[in-house]
């Protein structure tokens, strides 16, 4: 079907891009504000709230336990930030482009991870391993995009389904996998640079690149435009299909990057391990104020968000709470963030 023959989205007709696009057209001011035609950057308020909450948490924890402000805490937090941060950038791109969420993150992480350790076990050069990780991650994203675009199915349904299929495939492929302890990747994963974990810096680079280029590059602007209003984007000559493909392939490649960090720092894994990263990733983008309705969000805030959430889990260990009581607070943060996102959406429709 040619894109210009797609049904009108504002009328609520099913579309190749799913029901999340079947909503009223947004005023173009959203796009303009994202591109910087406004003095205050997108998400400034959210950023201030996160920094305030983060600062209060650090201050409160330091007052309660002075040893909270130690290099050990910094290491614990930054190690936790690395993998979730990279996955969250991919998830944020999906959300900004109007595809709401990618629920296949667990498979997207473990599939390239399995490829990495398999190739390392065969003595393949690390640079080829890195390329393979990116390729496998990208291929997974392409697989999702093919079903979404040509099957004309809601991305959430597709990625939920492919994640189940992927989990089954992973269970067939392997039962447990190990990064060789003596490998360069394992040694790099335990190493530090400028006092912070080596695996932290690629995450920082990914956030910086995404934060800078998404509002400025052609592909990035197309993602925002399609997420904001597919109808308006199409009227501007933007290909919905190409944009959808680009988003999922880039997100998949970021999963490949996350897989490199994962296999470098977590040397023993099983097919189900990826599921531990889905909720933190969702919490990170929701707290960062990335609009699940698409078209808005500041990727720099992902850094603040993942830092704040990672600090919460570390700080809880300082309060002497039973390990059982350390689990509800991150869930509560997610619930509060989802509520705020819902409130924000209702307010934006008025």
Name the site residues for other proteins (rule: CB under 8 A): 65, 67, 70-73, 75-76, 79-80, 171, 175-176, 178, 180-181, 190, 192, 197, 265-273, 276, 313-314, 316-318, 322-324, 326-327
- What 8-state DSSP symbol labels residue 230? H
Residue 293: CB minimum distance to other proteins, A: 31
- Give whichever of 163 and 265 is closer to other proteins, judged by the CB atom: 265
Residue 76: CB minimum distance to other proteins, A: 4
Residue 90: CB minimum distance to other proteins, A: 18
- Give whichever of 113 and 231 is closer to other proteins, judged by the CB atom: 113
Residue 166: CB minimum distance to other proteins, A: 13
Long-range pairs of 194-201 with CB within 8 A, sequence gap ≥ 24: 195/71, 195/74, 196/74, 196/75, 196/78, 197/75, 197/78, 197/79, 197/82, 197/265, 198/264, 199/79, 199/82, 199/83, 199/261, 199/264, 199/265, 200/78, 200/79, 200/81, 200/82
- Give whichever of 35 and 319 is closer to other proteins, judged by the CB atom: 319
Residue 192: CB minimum distance to other proteins, A: 8
Question: Helix, strand, coil shares of the chain as percentages rounded to 5?
Answer: 75, 0, 25
- Give whichever of 150 and 268 is closer to other proteins, judged by the CB atom: 268
- Give whichever of 3 and 266 is closer to other proteins, judged by the CB atom: 266
Residue 105: CB minimum distance to other proteins, A: 13
Angle CA(20)–CA(334)–CA(327) in degrees, nearest 5? Answer: 145
The answer to whether 201 and 193 are in contact (CB under 8 A) is yes
How far is it, in rounded angstroms, from Cα 235 to Cα 243? 14
How far is it, in rounded angstroms, from Cα 306 to Cα 329? 15
Residue 315: CB minimum distance to other proteins, A: 8
- Give whichever of 213 and 318 is closer to other proteins, judged by the CB atom: 318
The answer to whether 214 and 93 are in contact (CB under 8 A) is yes
- Give whichever of 80 and 293 is closer to other proteins, judged by the CB atom: 80
Residue 118: CB minimum distance to other proteins, A: 14
CA dist 73 to 51, 111, 271, 303, Å? Answer: 18, 31, 29, 17
How far is it, in rounded angstroms, from Cα 280 to Cα 258? 14
- Give whichever of 206 and 312 is closer to other proteins, judged by the CB atom: 312
Length of the chain: 350
Residue 203: CB minimum distance to other proteins, A: 15
The answer to whether 94 and 243 are in contact (CB under 8 A) is no
- Give whichever of 14 and 330 is closer to other proteins, judged by the CB atom: 330
How far is it, in rounded angstroms, from Cα 155 to Cα 20? 9
How far is it, in rounded angstroms, from Cα 64 to Cα 12? 53
């Amino acid at each position: 079907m040619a894109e210009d023959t797609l049904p009108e989205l504002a009328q609520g007709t099913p579309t190749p891009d799913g029901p999340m696009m079947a909503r009223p057209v947004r005023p173009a001011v959203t796009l303009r504000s994202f591109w910087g035609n406004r003095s205050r950057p997108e998400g400034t308020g959210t950023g201030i709230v996160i920094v305030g909450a983060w600062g209060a948490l650090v201050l409160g924890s330091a007052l309660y336990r002075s040893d909270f402000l130690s290099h050990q805490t910094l290491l614990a937090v930054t190690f936790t930030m690395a993998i979730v941060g990279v996955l969250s950038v991919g998830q944020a791109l999906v959300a900004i482009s109007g595809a709401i969420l990618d629920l296949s993150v667990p498979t997207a992480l473990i599939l390239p991870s399995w490829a990495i350790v398999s190739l390392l076990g065969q003595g393949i050069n690390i640079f080829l391993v890195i390329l393979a990780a990116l390729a496998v991650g990208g291929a997974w994203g392409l697989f999702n995009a093919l079903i979404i675009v040509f099957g004309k199915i809601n991305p959430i349904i597709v990625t939920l389904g492919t994640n189940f299929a992927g989990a089954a495939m992973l269970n067939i492929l392997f039962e447990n996998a190990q990064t060789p302890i003596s490998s360069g990747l394992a040694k790099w994963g335990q190493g530090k640079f400028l006092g912070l974990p080596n695996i932290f810096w690629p995450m920082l680079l990914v956030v910086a690149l995404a934060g800078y280029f998404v509002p400025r590059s052609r592909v990035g602007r197309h993602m925002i435009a399609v997420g904001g209003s597919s109808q308006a984007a199409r009227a501007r000559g933007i290909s919905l299909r190409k944009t959808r493909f680009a988003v999922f392939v880039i997100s998949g490649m970021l999963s490949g990057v996350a897989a490199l960090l994962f296999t470098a720092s977590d040397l023993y894994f099983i097919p189900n391990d990826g599921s531990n990263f889905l909720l933190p990733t969702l919490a990170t983008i929701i707290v960062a104020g990335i609009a699940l309705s698409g078209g808005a969000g500041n990727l720099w805030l992902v850094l603040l968000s993942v830092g704040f959430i990672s600090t919460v889990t570390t700080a809880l260990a300082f309060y002497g709470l039973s390990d059982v009581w350390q689990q509800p607070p991150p869930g509560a943060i997610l619930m509060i963030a989802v509520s705020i996102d819902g409130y924000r959406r209702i307010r934006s429709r008025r």
